[in-house]
Amino acid sequence: MTDGITFGRFVSLHRSEKGWTQLRLATELDRSEEWMSKVERDLQQVKDVRLLRLLANVLDVKIDELMALPQPIPNGPRSRRRCASSATLASTSGAEEDEDVRRRPFLTLAAAALVAPVAGQHVARAEGAPPLSGLEDLLLYGSERLPAPRRDPTPESVAASLAASRREFKAARYDALAEALPGRIVAAQVVGTAEERARQVAQLYNIAVRLCIKIGDNNLVAITSDRALTAARSGGDPLVTAEAQRMVSSSWRRQGSLARATDIVVVAAEDLLADTSVSEGARLATRGDLYATAAYTAAKAGDRAYAHALIREAADSAAAAGRASGLVDGIQGVALHELSVHYELGDAGRAIEFARTVDPTALPTAERRARFFTDVARAFDQWGKPEQTFRALLAAEEAAPQEVRRGVVRDLAVGLLRHDRKLPGVRDFAGRAGVQIV
């Protein structure tokens, strides 16, 4: 079978027999799609025995067959660009292998700054979940139990506190946000006209919902999302109301009412699109967010066709918003949801293939980068790849240390402890995530 066939052609034929794309095979080898293409075109040598063994296992062939095949002869010095930490963190990397890769796989690129947690060096860590007692007291008892403000609030100070809350969430500074939010909400309740107060309060409660989701307090998610929607409807801003409806949808989803949660945001998206009081770009961007949330919920319900249809609608709306406004924020948000959709539908390989199309360094906030890598970790875990799972979690921690105490990260860390002898540093990481190790 191998007479007269080159190494690259042999690999290409066996990959095609499996029905895989070059990207899928590259993922299995922890390489880039460009590298894989060069191998199959006989432009790239593969001499590292560990990589050859992995390739043979993946293609279900004998390693002797691979090693007997003719490979291209190097044509002298090549331009090389290697990730400094690839030899440390990539389980299938060969330190001596001649790689001509313009862009290493996204996890290896992101791992360049992640040697510290593996080597036991200092990493900023969250010492505990952000305290929500102040928010609880505000919701249950009003402002009486909160400390008196240092100065009377003004429209300028309220606007500044709203902007600060957004910055803190995007920077994943959840402890500072949890401490400051109750006082900021109280201040917003007493400044401006009735509609102005309602709009400011609704926006702060929308942020509070997202904070409670991060921390995993479903009871507070339900209460804060209700407060957000009630205030938003009084404030009369369609965009703020749509965001509050999205938060209410998240609350229903977390309580298991998936069909209702999906309907809430789909109806909100269509209502918003018909509201000509809002600019077209803003309507389309928010519609994209709403449909992305609906797609994620449909995926959790196992409705594959509906989830894919909704995420396509979300992507189309976000792209149209980008053309209308020049902003890409909505496009990035939809991309993160699409990654989650693939994971929730059980398509781990497809999730990783999609993740390779996302440049994590281009994501504008620490919260988004950490969310991206956490979802990548979940997909690798679903795929049964503990080393890649651990690397992705370390990347999430590097992006936003306070993300490590999320419930999903703790669950992944517990699973990784089964491989602790093969994953140096995993026990320390599990401790940082709040796992009690006995």
pLDDT score of 424 more than 70:
yes
Task: List, as one string, the DSSP characters of 96-162.
Answer: T-----SS--HHHHHGGG-HHHHHT-------SPPP-HHHHHHHHHGGGGSPPPSS---HHHHHHHH
Whole-number mean pLDDT of the chain? 83
pLDDT of residue 438: 66
pLDDT of residue 327: 58
pLDDT of residue 19: 80
Clarify whether residues 312 and 229 are in a common domain: no
Clarify whether residues 274 and 215 are in a common domain: no
Q: Could you tell me which residue, 50 or 340, shows the higher pLDDT?
A: 340
Task: List Cα–Cα distances, 9 to 100, 172, 389, in angstroms.
Answer: 19, 48, 32
Task: List Cα–Cα distances, 83 to 29, 110, 129, 273, 400, in angstroms.
Answer: 16, 9, 34, 46, 22
Clarify whether residues 93 and 28 are in a common domain: yes
Nearest residue to 376 (alpha-carbon basis) of 109, 130, 81: 109
Tell me if residue 21 falls in helix, strand or coil. Answer: coil
pLDDT of residue 307: 95
Number of domains in the chain: 3
Residue 54 maps to which CATH number?
Answer: 1.10.260.40
Clarify whether residues 214 and 260 are in a common domain: no
Sign of CA dihedral 257, 262, 264, 267: negative
Residue 429 is assigned to a structural domain of this protein? no
pLDDT of residue 347: 94
Q: State mean pLDDT over 227-249.
A: 97
pLDDT of residue 266: 94
pLDDT of residue 328: 59
Q: Could you tell me which residue, 10 or 72, shows the higher pLDDT?
A: 10
- 3-state per-residue secondary structure call for 30-73: CCCHHHHHHHHCCCCCCCCHHHHHHHHHHHCCCHHHHHHCCCCC
pLDDT of residue 166: 96
Clarify whether residues 274 and 248 are in a common domain: no
Residue 409 is assigned to a structural domain of this protein? no
pLDDT score of 188 more than 90:
yes
Q: State mean pLDDT over 269-274.
A: 90
The values of phi and psi at residue 275, to 5°, are: -90, 100
pLDDT of residue 130: 56
Q: Which of 220, 255, 290 is the last residue of a domain?
A: 255
- For 298, the token pair is 């449909």
pLDDT of residue 97: 38
Clarify whether residues 285 and 263 are in a common domain: yes
Q: Could you tell me which residue, 174 or 436, shows the higher pLDDT?
A: 174
Q: How far apart are CA 40 and CA 319, in angstroms?
A: 34
Nearest residue to 241 (alpha-carbon basis) of 268, 221, 262: 268
Clarify whether residues 198 and 249 are in a common domain: yes
State the pLDDT confidence band at 436, using cuts at 50, 70 and 90: confident
Residue 250 is assigned to a structural domain of this protein? yes
Q: How far apart are CA 418 and CA 389, in angstroms?
A: 13
Q: Which of 255, 280, 305 is the last residue of a domain?
A: 255
- For 378, the token pair is 């979940």
pLDDT score of 51 more than 80:
yes
Clarify whether residues 235 and 260 are in a common domain: no
Residue 135 is assigned to a structural domain of this protein? no
State the pLDDT confidence band at 227, using cuts at 50, 70 and 90: very high
Rounded to 10 degrees, the C-alpha dihedral 303/309/313/318 comes to 70
pLDDT in tens, 381-399: 999 999 999 999 999 999 9
Domain of residue 287, residue span: 256-345
pLDDT of residue 115: 30
pLDDT in tens, 116-161: 333 333 334 344 445 788 999 999 888 877 877 778 899 999 999 9
Q: Which amino acid is at 80?
A: R
State the pLDDT confidence band at 405, using cuts at 50, 70 and 90: confident
pLDDT of residue 80: 33
Q: State mean pLDDT over 413-432.
A: 89
The values of phi and psi at residue 279, to 5°, are: -60, 150
pLDDT score of 320 more than 50:
yes
Q: Tell me if 94 sits within 8 A of 50, measured CB to CB.
A: yes
Residue 118 is assigned to a structural domain of this protein? no
pLDDT of residue 125: 39
Q: State mean pLDDT over 174-184.
A: 94
Q: Which amino acid is at 373?
A: F
Q: Which of 242-246, 318-322, 332-336, 403-407 is the most confident on average?
A: 242-246
Q: How far apart are CA 103 and CA 83, in angstroms?
A: 9
State the pLDDT confidence band at 74, using cuts at 50, 70 and 90: low
Q: State mean pLDDT over 166-180.
A: 94
Clarify whether residues 219 and 264 are in a common domain: no
Q: Which of 312, 345, 378 is the last residue of a domain?
A: 345
Clarify whether residues 76 and 169 are in a common domain: no
